[in-house]
Structure 1
Amino acid sequence: MEWRRRLTLSAATLTATALALGGCTADRAPAKKEAVARAPLDLTVTPADRARDVPISAEVGVAVRGGKVRDVRIRDDRGVQVRAEPREDGSAWVPAEPLAHRRTYTAEVTATGDTGQTATRTTTFTTAAKSNVPTITSTLYFAGNRTYGTAMPVTVAFDPPIPKAARDEVQRRLFVTTDPPQPGTWSWLEDGSQVYYRAPDFWRPGTSISVRAALEGLPIGRDRVGDADRRATSRIGRQVSLEIDNATKQMSVFQDGRLLRRIPVSLGKPSTPSSSGRMVIMEKHERTTFDTRGEPDGGYVVDVDDAQRYTWGGEFIHSAPWSEGDQGNTNVSHGCANVSARAADWLMGITQVGDLITVKGTEVRLQPGNGWTAWNVTWEEFVKGSALPVPGNLRPAPAPTGSPVAPAAGATPAPTSTGSGG
């Protein structure tokens, strides 16, 4: 299938040309008329007219010189109008839903030139049959109609991971809008298994975030396609953060920058240390079961109350009445942050998925991707992971000559705990 990349087919070009005359006088010099050539109205539309086997992820691409697009109308072969929204840079109109397989669509684009002339270009194309090639499964870790914490990154995971050469095409089909506006960018893990979206700073409380992962039918690499088109809109709640210091064995709980409470903790013992880094609450369970049979240093099954996950490796804050005598002075857990039953119950009423947890002073560093680790790097490191150019207003300022250089994104840290709680 030749039409494998988004809107890269050649298309016919329609041109309208106009000349405008102009002149000026200065210091009483004789008036002199000069012909000033205006740029011709040059309008190109893709997919190409009569193109076939077009992916259902197709967009109507528009390239215009010497004017601006005035109207774009897309209809299917039954005459039903297809809703579409323009990209921010005006380079294409993106259908609000994936196109249907084996259907014919007509796009009519009208542009107005700098001197008032208009040009209309119409293209008709037919989408491909449903592909038999394997899909890449995507998971959007951002549900709709929820309230999240101010550190909540938009996370999309992929199985199998996205090859580096295909990440730009995938990233172009991931859309985030915020109200009020708080722009950010996407950043990929080195292995392509996850991509995160965040702004330079934490989300402002009350912000509404809308996400679309428009990947259904998108050609990915040579032999895969995207699996689904997913949407979600949620809001950001109050600002809450937790800071855990291994040196003092204390957790400090803040809301809107104000200290609410200090809670004694017991972290991972030397054989199963806790991870140090900036993490995010991922799940909350009033009651769950830790089953570590078959894992190193595991082999136990235990029911726990008021458990809050913050790594994929199995690190939780949870109620641990059996270790209350150690909390505040000795690390005895399998990597989790053990707190008293009363403190765990209180925390469940304060925290939200997406709240920031900072752990410091333990024996190991948090690994990239062990949880939603978008905040465990600086903004300067984070933007390096984008597969597309980062807008100028989001690019970090260059470091002064001679200043220290932060470690590159994706640098390999020390190993971390991989248990399933404890």
Structure 2
Amino acid sequence: MRLAVRKESRPGERRVALLPSQVEPLVKLGFDVVIESGAGVQALAPDDAYAEAGATVVTGSALSDADVVLHVRPLQPDDIGQLRQGAVTIGFATPSAEPDGVKALRAAGVTAFSMELVPRISRAQSMDALTSQALVAGYRCVLEAAMRLPKFFPLFMTAAGTIPPARALVLGAGVAGLQAIATAKRLGAVVEAYDVRPSSADEVKSMGATFIKLELEAIEGAGGYAREMTEDRAKRQQELLTPYIAKADVLITTAAVPGRPAPRLVTTAMLEQMAAGSVVVDLAAESGGNVEGSVPGKDIRVGGATLVGMADASSTMPVDASRLYGKNVTELLKLLVKEEKLDIDFDDEVVAGACLTHDGAIRHEPTRQQIEGDNG
């Protein structure tokens, strides 16, 4: 079985789907591992390290004769066109945002596993790439804020006087939000957090932060995620959050609804009430933004605050992000191999749940309805 590791081609992407230390377990599974030259360079994994680990390094594309392809970002239609019928791909596919890629996978007869679709159940935790990459992104958001804030995060009591700690507010208490809370606390900030799911209150408190309770109904979705809110509720939530945002030195937004644009939590008018020098980091900028006006990869001045639109957040820390991601894809791949042969068992709920396309059909029902509804 020939397994190819793609060199990521999208601008800003520095991760790789497999590190050299993760090659040997796949060789033991029966794979001939092929790495596209330069695939791991930005994650500090040179070609020589892969060769020493037992992989074959090739110049140019390794897609055409691969049985399995590992990738990070979604494959482009041109890449998919190189794959043989029946090939297996494992990586992020962002099906709701990249329908052309899904159509290409279907047309090519590729069996594509989307890391976004891995079921959120106990036995699939080691395969949950959304969680592993959110961990990295949440940590990075706080570092970005700390570098821009013209104040200390921690309390300092000195002979020259006392410097009060920074006040940080985190909106969204999923994995990224909880990691942002933990990191801000480690740096010494006083942290508050809000999430539409009251069930997240205990997790927030366990990180040492104060959970903000608003007089609003709960919004709890499937799999522990939040679901979309009505326009009236969103407006009322903004009104109630405004005084908390006004007193924050740092605002970090991490809210997401799977398969949907990011919910708009913060308006320009709300930001204009923040003090001069305040920093706002919008982790959701690439998916529409939690904050009005945020632009991925850009710093924008809004009143006295700096609005940072995060882009490629996990890729800014490619070594550990790749380490975690490589473990995720490897664990999923193990479910697809029996006795050194590919054996895709759709009776396995993880395999079935993560599969996007197979044998010329779209297996993920919401994606199928979206695409076929668009006459795809």
* TM-score using structure 2 length: 0.25
More helix as a share of residues: 2
Q: Structure 1 length normalisation: TM-score?
A: 0.24
More strand by share: 1
Structure 1 or 2, whichever has the larger Rg, is 1
